[in-house]
Structure 1
C-alpha cells in the first residue's frame, strides 16, 4: 500500500518516529552529558583533595623557609605529562614549578586563570586551556595557610586530553547505538502504524460502501482490541440497517396495499353512481354507505399511520401523571361497550386500584387497541378477562381472551405493522393497532408480550416498572 502523507498511516508513523527520535537522542545526550559532568566533578574533587593535603606540607616548609623541601614536594607530586604543580608567594611570584621549561616564559602570572582570586585569598576551581598550550585542563588554585599565616599560593592542574579522546570514542559508540536503536524502533513503528492504519482504512471503505447502499455486507477484521470491537459494531450496524431497509420497503408496500383497497372501493362506487346507480335510491344509499365506510377506514388508517410515525420519531410528547389503573380500565371498557354488545362478548374486570405514572390518553389508546383486537377474535358468549397485580417490582396487566388463538410461528410477529398470520385474521382494521400499542408502552418504559394457545385464546401481558 503506497504511503500517503496525509493519511493516518503516515501520521501515526511520523508521530512514532518523532517520539522515538526525541526519546533516544535526548536519553543518549543526557547520559553523555551526565557522564561528562560526573568525570569533571570527580577530577575537580581529586584536585581539591590533593591540593589541600599538599598545602599543609608545603605551608610547613614555607613557614620554615625551606625552599628545598618545597622543591622536593613539587618534583615528587608534579608530573610534566599530566599534573602541573606550581607554588607562588602571597603576591603571586612563582617560587617552584613542576614545568620549569614552560613557566620560565611566563612574565605575568596574574593573567593565568584563577590567580587573581587566589591573590585575593580565594579558592578558585575551573577548566581552562594550558598555560602555553591548547589542551583543556582542570585546575584548582588556593591560598596556603599555615599557623594562621598566609604563606603562599598553590596551583594544581591536570590534563583531560586522554579523557576527551575516550569521551569522543564513547560519543561515537553512543551515537551509533542510538541510531541503531532508532532504526530498529522505526521498523517496529512502521509495522505497528500499518497494523493500526490498515483496519481503519478497511473500515473507512466499508462505511463508504454502506453509505452507497451496500447494506448487509460484513467486514472481516479478526482482532481482540478496540478496532476489532469497532469492526463488530460496524457489522452489527450494517445488518441493522439492512433489516431497517427491508422493514421500510415492506412497510411502504403494506401501506400502498392498505391505501389502494379503500381508494379502489371508493372509485368503483363513484363510478357506479356516475353510470346510473344514483337513479335507484336504495342502491344509491347502499353505495354511498359503502363509500363512507371506506373513507372512514381510510381516515383511521391515515390517523394510525400518523400516530405510529410520531411514536417512532419520538415527537409525541408524553404528559406523565399518576393515574388509577382501575379508572383507566373502566374508561376503556365504557368506550368499547357497544362493540362488546354487538359481538356478544363479556368483559370480566378484576383489576385492583394500582397507581401508574403514565400519559392517561396514550395508555387509553393502547388499551383500546388491545381490547378491540381481543373482542374481534373472540366468539360470541366468550369472556375477555382483565387482571392486574404486582410481581418482582413490576406492575402487570393481563388481558386474556377465549378466541381462536395464534399459531406459534406467528406469535413473535403480531406487534409488527400490517402483520396477519393467515386469512382468518383478516378484518376491517388497519393492522396497526398492536404495533401502536407496543410503541406507546415502550415509550413509558414498559414491555408487552403475548402468549397464545390455538383454539383456547390469547393473553397479552403488559409490565411497567414499579
Structure 2
C-alpha cells in the first residue's frame, strides 16, 4: 500500500516536470504556475507520508520514545490552536473550550509533549480537512478525575458505519473521502500515541452531520 501511495505523487511530479521541460516555450505563465503548484503539492504530500510511515513503523516496532514531563495543558492547547489557526488557509475556525469549573483544581500533569502534539494536531487537522469551508471545529479540554479528556468535534462529512471499525488501521480511509488528500496513517499514529499514554480514544460519527473524537488520558 505504501508503494502505491508514493507512486501517485511521483507520477504527478514526473508528468508536470516533463511538460514544463518539453513545452515551456508553448506554455503561458498561468499553465506553468499550475504545474509548479502540482509539483509543490505532491512534494508536500510525500514529505508528510514519509514522516508518517517512519513514525508508524517506530510505533509498531515499539521503538517510539515516550518521555512524559510536567506540562501546562491549558497553555499548550491555547498555543496549539493559535499555531494551527495561523496555518489554516481556509475559512475554518477552531473554537477552544476549557472547563473552567475544574481548572483551578487540576493536579500536576505529566505527558509527552511531542506525542500529545501528534494526537491533537492530527485530530484537529482531520476535522478541518473534512469539514465545509466556513464551519467551526470545537476543541474541548476538561479534567475528569482521574484523567484529562480532549474532545474534537466537527460538522463535516462524517464516517460511514462500516469504516468506523477500521479507522485506526494503517492506510485505511473511509469510502466517502472522495478526492480529499490524506495518507491514511494519521489516526493509526494517534491511537499509538494515546496508548503510550495509557489512554483511550473513541469516535462518534454520523454521515453528513459530523464526527466527534474523544481522547481520555490518565494523569498517573
Contact 1:384 1:402 in 2 (8 A): yes
For 1:443 and 1:322, how far apart are their aligned partners in 2? 16
Q: Deviations over 1:406-461 (max 9, x none)?
A: 11221121122221221435422222111111111111111111111222211101
For 1:380 and 1:269, how far apart are their aligned partners in 2? 29
Contact 2:93 2:135 in 1 (8 A): yes
Corresponding residue for 2:113? 360
Question: 2:146 aligned with 1:393, yes or no?
Answer: yes
Q: Deviations over 1:351-408 (max 9, x none)?
A: 2445531111221122101000001112233221122233463321111111121112
The more displaced of 456-465 and 343-352 is: 343-352
For 2:18 and 2:44, how far apart are their aligned partners in 1? 19
Contact 1:325 1:351 in 2 (8 A): no
Question: 2:195 aligned with 1:442, yes or no?
Answer: yes
Which protein, 1 or 2, shows the higher relative CO under an 8 Å CA cutoff with sep ≥ 6?
A: 2
5+ unaligned residues in a row in structure 1: which ranges?
Answer: 1-253
Question: 2:134 aligned with 1:381, yes or no?
Answer: yes
Q: Deviations over 1:189-220 (max 9, x none)?
A: xxxxxxxxxxxxxxxxxxxxxxxxxxxxxxxx
Corresponding residue for 1:304? 52
Corresponding residue for 1:369? 122
Contact 1:420 1:426 in 2 (8 A): no
Question: 2:100 aligned with 1:349, yes or no?
Answer: no
Alignment of 1:307-346 (within 5 A): 307-340=55-88, 342-346=89-93
5+ unaligned residues in a row in structure 2: which ranges?
Answer: none
Q: Secondary structure at the match of 2:203?
A: strand
Contact 1:345 1:384 in 2 (8 A): yes
Corresponding residue for 2:208? 455
Corresponding residue for 1:416? 169
CA deviation after TM superposition for structure 1 residue 261, in Å: 0.4
For 1:389 and 1:451, how far apart are their aligned partners in 2? 18
Contact 2:159 2:176 in 1 (8 A): no
Alignment of 1:265-280 (within 5 A): 265-277=12-24, 280=27
Corresponding residue for 2:159? 406
CA 1:376–1:457 in structure 2 vs 1: closer, same or farther (change >3 Å)? same
CA 1:270–1:345 in structure 2 vs 1: closer, same or farther (change >3 Å)? closer
For 1:310 and 1:379, how far apart are their aligned partners in 2? 34
Bigger radius of gyration: 1
Q: 2:6 aligns with which of 246, 255, 259?
A: 259
Q: Deviations over 1:121-156 (max 9, x none)?
A: xxxxxxxxxxxxxxxxxxxxxxxxxxxxxxxxxxxx
Q: 2:42 aligns with which of 283, 294, 300?
A: 294
Contact 2:71 2:110 in 1 (8 A): yes
CA 1:381–1:275 in structure 2 vs 1: closer, same or farther (change >3 Å)? closer
TM normalised by structure 1 equals 0.43
Q: Secondary structure at the match of 1:421?
A: coil
For 1:271 and 1:348, how far apart are their aligned partners in 2? 44
In the comparison of the two structures, how many residue pairs are matched? 212
For 1:275 and 1:305, how far apart are their aligned partners in 2? 34
Give the CA RMSD over aligned residues.
2.0
For 1:383 and 1:284, how far apart are their aligned partners in 2? 35
CA 1:409–1:316 in structure 2 vs 1: closer, same or farther (change >3 Å)? same
Alignment of 1:103-122 (within 5 A): none
